[in-house]
Structure 1
């Protein structure tokens, strides 16, 4: 009787192990039902299924990034989508967190092209000679400025950028203006109806709410001083992005501003093989994620593997190293 060689036995075991690798079964906490993050959840699920039809990534609607960080911190979800700026606040234990959240590990960057926009009514811009964010402070203009609702990270970022440019809620009120808390679509309606003079938000270029503003209101896109962009990126871990000239009707020149990004995040307790399998599926089947929305066409394996404010999960890091995306 012939017995298999040791080498053959080892190869058979390895092959058997690889073939019988368990499918992943994970819960992903995202944002509002029907929003971009819910679409990303569907794309991530399809990417996992493309490698193993038994794999499942179940999307769970939540209040957004801050809520997802709370769930991750308490180990009550497997995965969460959150903004890079939210992750940095959590690492520092800033509001709304009572202590640093330190168990988060990145699986990959999903996008980094949601630039902060500052639209101002054109008549007011011309009357008070306001071209840039830092012109507001000394203008004396009684501006009614739309700021996103508390709990939305663009609110934190907008307030910080305005303050870095010398604009505070107190100074606006002294001029007879006010800050008005309203979501993106609400802001579009309010400026169109003449109940706001200026709106602020960090969403994709030509997002539907911005298109509505551009088409239905006579507005200009304000410049942002370089020092404000740099201070914002240092504070929140955001990046720098150029909004190309003519992206909007009255925009003759490029506008450089800070841009938010979104991360797919797990916890340090996720098994290495699970994180490895998920990251590998995202790289191999990235078209499944790109296809969920036109704004995701720029997603690339290189972006997935871009370092962020969070450390990579060791399993994801291994997958990216094997794909030649990380050294």
Structure 2
């Protein structure tokens, strides 16, 4: 038989054990709360950036930005997800993903609810420029009987034109260029030409077979695809006239740009065109402190980014804040004002 004194001792022991466990649990919670508070105080960043297709240049751009943030912020956890130029603004605008990369022109179209978007994504905010300029480049086979888009229109040339999918940045720019002349795809077809929506590799394959005459897209300079294509066929690039540049720039939120002679082996004169930067976007509800730190991290990483991709070498203090017509996030704006980059 167990003595009453022994039972009492056991009860006291178990009570003490439970109290200790309770204290331990509370201690754990307090510790967790302290760690969370410390992390918040240190502006620890845990976020996601949506970028480009896996393996493409834009995936490299996105990973470079992500690594800049990781390098400058201890314990930062920055995940990169694949995306697309047109898809990314809506993903950020609906808070599906906190950060994303796109063209300034497509981010602005999403913000305004203009083509290719069917509603406004007014919660998009700009952080910074990532790649300062992506130039619209209208390429044609060297032996085509025209040397400007003006000549194509004036002579109603039966041009066989290949473009990316409808609603892509390059397709929208091309369509707006034609519209500035009062010309539609149907007009080109009526002249005996054709309009095909093809990917870049397929387009250049058909151009090499003399089944496509020309193509237009907004890409970096020099573009790897164009460099490769120029080894298989003779190409030329056509300028835009100033009236078209002004019209398209105003409509799409772009800028006038010049592709310098020598940018490609076949290019012996400067090309007048339109351009748009690639920018980092963020949802408006991301904290001012975090976006400030992200902006600062990228700004302090120009040298590193230049080792990631050649295009990053064009990123400077002078163009870093020039993110186009999408409103700046307050965190980015605060950093730029501190650095004297904006007033």
Normalised by the length of structure 1, the TM-score is 0.88
Instruction: Look up the match of 1:35.
Output: 56
Instruction: Look up the match of 1:305.
Output: 321
Gap regions ≥5 residues in structure 1 = 1-15
Shift, 1:19, TM fit: 10
Instruction: Look up the match of 1:98.
Output: 118
Gap regions ≥5 residues in structure 2 = 1-36
- Are 1:200 and 2:247 matched, yes or no? no
Mapping of residues 77-88 of structure 1, within 5 Å = 77-88=97-108
Give the structure with higher Rg (CA).
Answer: 2
2:154 to 121, 127, 138: 138
SS at the partner of 1:301?
coil
User: CA contact under 8 A between 1:243 and 1:255: conserved in structure 2?
Assistant: yes
SS at the partner of 1:163?
helix
Q: Distance in 1 between matches of 2:271 and 2:114?
A: 30
1:181-227: CA deviation from partner (whole Å, max 9, x where unpaired): 11222222111111101111111122121112322222221121011
Mapping of residues 229-268 of structure 1, within 5 Å = 229-268=245-284
Q: Distance in 2 between matches of 1:163 and 1:135?
A: 15
Instruction: Look up the match of 1:107.
Output: 127
User: CA contact under 8 A between 1:46 and 1:288: conserved in structure 2?
Assistant: no
User: CA contact under 8 A between 2:130 and 2:279: conserved in structure 1?
Assistant: yes
Q: Distance in 1 between matches of 2:253 and 2:225?
A: 25
- Are 1:76 and 2:96 matched, yes or no? yes
Instruction: Look up the match of 1:209.
Output: 225
Shift, 1:289, TM fit: 2.5
SS at the partner of 1:297?
helix
Instruction: Look up the match of 1:121.
Output: 141
Q: Distance in 2 between matches of 1:44 and 1:213?
A: 29
Shift, 1:118, TM fit: 1.1
User: CA contact under 8 A between 2:138 and 2:214: conserved in structure 1?
Assistant: yes
1:290-313: CA deviation from partner (whole Å, max 9, x where unpaired): 322112211123322124111111
User: CA contact under 8 A between 1:41 and 1:57: conserved in structure 2?
Assistant: no
Shift, 1:275, TM fit: 0.5
Aligned CA RMSD, in angstroms, stands at 2.0
Shift, 1:249, TM fit: 4.0
- For the structure 1 residues 135 and 325, does the alpha-carbon distance in structure 2 shift closer, same or farther, using more than 3 Å as the test? same
User: CA contact under 8 A between 1:112 and 1:259: conserved in structure 2?
Assistant: no
Count of aligned positions: 307
User: CA contact under 8 A between 1:115 and 1:258: conserved in structure 2?
Assistant: yes
Q: Distance in 2 between matches of 1:288 and 1:76?
A: 29
